[in-house]
């Protein structure tokens, strides 16, 4: 089972420290952590990449499995060009992948979003 985590962290040093710690743990264990982590610097960045339509697309692809972009657009009842643009953005971020037969899929069984919204002091 492949898992992904989405988080928001504006502290670049903390992100780098966590990445270094994860690398060290993986090196010592001799195997990779099964959780892919996607870190966004702000809620604005997160919501500019994972829009409501893109979230719907991700959920739908998880349900139906690999699909052509045209088939995905048809099943979502959306314009093919818009779905293509959304898929391209999600591929760039690694949330969607292309299969060997040129279909698109979500390579994760579970995607967990974890972030806090706090008042700035």
Which among 76, 56, 77, 65 is positioned nearest to 101, based on CA atoms? Answer: 65
Residue 119 is assigned to a structural domain of this protein: no
CATH number of the domain to which 18 belongs: 1.10.10.10
pLDDT tens by residue, 53-97: 999 999 999 999 999 999 999 999 999 999 999 999 999 999 999
Cβ(75)–Cβ(113) below 8 Å: no
Which among 101, 109, 91, 34 is positioned nearest to 66, based on CA atoms? Answer: 101
Residue 120 is assigned to a structural domain of this protein: no
Domains in the chain, number: 1
Residue 45 is assigned to a structural domain of this protein: yes
pTM of the model: 0.77
Range of 54's domain?
A: 3-114
Residue 121 is assigned to a structural domain of this protein: no
Give CA angle at 10 (29, 83), nearest 5°.
Answer: 85
Residue in this structure with the two tokens 């743990």, named with its chain if needed: 25
């Amino acid at each position: 089972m492949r898992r992904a985590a989405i988080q928001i962290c504006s502290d670049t040093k903390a992100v780098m420290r966590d990445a270094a710690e994860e690398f060290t743990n993986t090196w010592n264990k001799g195997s990779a952590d099964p959780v892919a982590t996607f870190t966004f610097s702000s809620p604005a960045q997160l919501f500019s990449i994972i829009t409501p339509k893109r979230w719907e697309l991700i959920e739908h692809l998880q349900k139906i499995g690999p699909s052509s972009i045209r088939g995905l657009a048809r099943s979502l009842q959306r314009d093919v060009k818009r779905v293509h643009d959304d898929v391209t953005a999600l591929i760039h971020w690694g949330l969607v992948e292309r299969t060997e037969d040129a279909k698109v899929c979500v390579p994760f069984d579970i995607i967990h979003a974890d972030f806090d919204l706090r008042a700035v002091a």
